[in-house]
Structure 1
């Protein structure tokens, strides 16, 4: 990694993320980071497109004019991946693959807003963040059957939780830990994890869990797995692999995967009643220097051209707000010389 603090960190290695990164290069941004949870960019194309399948420029009849500098003309799965490979060979783009973002926290450093981005492998700092994660992500579900009669009491987030419930949280990552100690304030909570110790928690979350456990504010049940669930008079009977069972009002699973709406809320981004992020005409969210791009915000329905255009407009908005803009030939033009710089 070339920079301690990036100018732009882009979360998501699909067309929206790639388009933003390339536009940032073309416009002269120096420190650019692209973070992707899978082992390579364009995971949707790699995973869901058969070999030699067409990748259309005009997706499902959507005729959209390319506004930026990425000249996408369509092709096959293989030619599209090759094209994006070539674009991302640009030396000014740092990449962090196999890095799922767990949290984004706004902080300050020397009087300037900075975002601390914590992933499953390491942390980064950036002056601005573009979230282009798409809508394909879904939380993982257990292998054993969940009875249909219990589905109203099974959660993969905190949306339906109330007070004074007996709750079982399943998982050993940071999301599971945060769910457990947040709920423990108003509920009776047990956290069950199949391993005998935590291996993925950040130090602060593990410290809080241990303190809550020691103060009997919640219970840790480690080295234990669930074998099956049963309906017990409208509550959940959980059968564990140690031969015991316990009755709960609710189960919350945090066993991997990402629900985009939950992720946005965790970052502090405001969403509407349909779970879509709220943004202004410059694609900015309620947080300064925090943008959204691609399907997660705009319901592009898979249009690569639309996602590429989002990156173009976001970078232009970012540079205008920083008080200067670069020409397409990377020569610096003076801009807004007599005006104070605005925040992104």
Structure 2
């Protein structure tokens, strides 16, 4: 048998890091964090614009922190620095560029399978975020324009005519950020931006009022076409328009195939768990965005990690 970890955590976002650090502070040793990207908190790195506000009370949710990680409001950069520091100050092994394929319960331990290798652990916590698997439109994107269609701000330049699709916080923040150097239209299938937090609602209202952003509300897209290397957007009830680039910010999905392959039951699009975040498989837990209707709260993820760490320490 390979080396046996006491605790293996899949996903190095806020909930994963909190589980590891709170576990260490509870006296658990030999902890490993497994992350498929090149560093921790890949969702914040990829999907948050530079200097984006990161609030403890996400979308106005007032959450008291239960554990010993003291998180306060900040920016994308200060938040990443904060998690760098708490990882550095505690003995937690972080393995990056490793994508877990599935988890198998053995006799008294778990085997965690990755391409070309596996590791074993007594307890496992899954903290995979929804935004790691961004929602994509139901219609196919023509291959000729795939480099003109994205889900983050990667690849965006200046002086482009850009369509942002979505009506949540990420879509609004993308649109407002891009409007400083580009012509931006935001397309949302609903008539209002009521899903967004108050700050973003104010920002998008002001941008539309001052004609910095054009809004297409109550509008659905039927499909996309290639128009000489640009994106021709075919709407259901409007004339087609041509854009240099289209950015989708329409949320994320639970990785159902991964959960099913690992034997974790789902209900209503979320993994089934008890009050201690333990799934139908004893010793296998879930935490963070994956447990929520809509993810995003760092404070909730930190509390999940603390609760799981306490429960494991009391029962191991």
For the criterion TM > 0.5, the same-fold answer is: yes
Q: Distance in 2 between matches of 1:285 and 1:25?
A: 22
Asked whether the equivalents of residues 27 and 313 of structure 2 are also in contact (C-alpha less than 8 Å), the reply is no
Shift of 1:143: 6.2
Specify the alignment match of 2:151 in structure 1: none
Whether 2:124 is the aligned partner of 1:136: answer: no
What TM-score results when the alignment is normalised by the length of structure 1?
A: 0.56
Displacement, 1:118? 1.2
Equivalence for 1:33: 32
Which structure's relative contact order is higher, taking Cα pairs within 8 Å and 6+ residues apart?
A: 2
Q: Which runs of 5+ in 2 are unaligned?
A: 144-252
Tell me how far apart the structure 2 counterparts of residues 91 and 123 of structure 1 sit (CA, whole Å): 24
* Partner SS, residue 266 of structure 2: coil
Partner residue, 1:287: 281
Q: 1:45 to 1:118 in 2, by over 3 A?
A: same
Residue 309 of structure 2 is aligned to residue 310 of structure 1? no
What is the CA distance between 1:259 and its match in structure 2? Answer: 5.6
Q: Name which one, 1 or 2, has greater alpha-carbon Rg.
A: 1
Q: How many residues align?
A: 204
Deviates more, 1:95-104 or 1:134-143: 134-143
What SS class does the counterpart of residue 136 from structure 1 fall into? helix
Retained in 2: the 8 A contact 1:300–1:306?
no
> Over aligned residues, Cα RMSD in angstroms?
2.2
- Name the structure 1 match of 2:67: 68
CA distance in 2, matches of 1:8, 1:52: 34
Matched, 1:278 2:277: no
Aligned to 2:222: none
1:239 aligned residue:
none
Q: Give the 3 Å change call, closer, same or farther, for CA 143–100 of structure 1 in structure 2.
A: farther
CA contact (8 A) 2:130 2:295 kept: no
Q: Is 1:21–1:311's contact at 8 Å kept on the other side of the alignment?
A: yes
SS, match of residue 265 in structure 2: coil
Secondary structure of 2:128's aligned partner: coil
Report the Cα distance in structure 2 between the residues aligned to 1:299 and 1:82, rounded to whole angstroms: 28
Question: Normalised by the size of structure 2, how large is the TM-score?
Answer: 0.61
In structure 1, stretches of 5+ residues that fail to align are: 146-257, 323-344
Question: Equivalent residue for 1:248?
Answer: none
Q: Counterparts of 2:279 and 2:70 in 1: how far apart (Å)?
A: 28
For residues 292-331 of structure 1, what are the alpha-carbon distances to aligned partners after superposition, in whole Å with 9 as ceiling and x for unaligned? 1011113363010010000000111111112xxxxxxxxx
Q: Secondary structure at the match of 2:260?
A: helix
Q: Is the 8 A contact 1:20 1:315 kept in 2?
A: yes
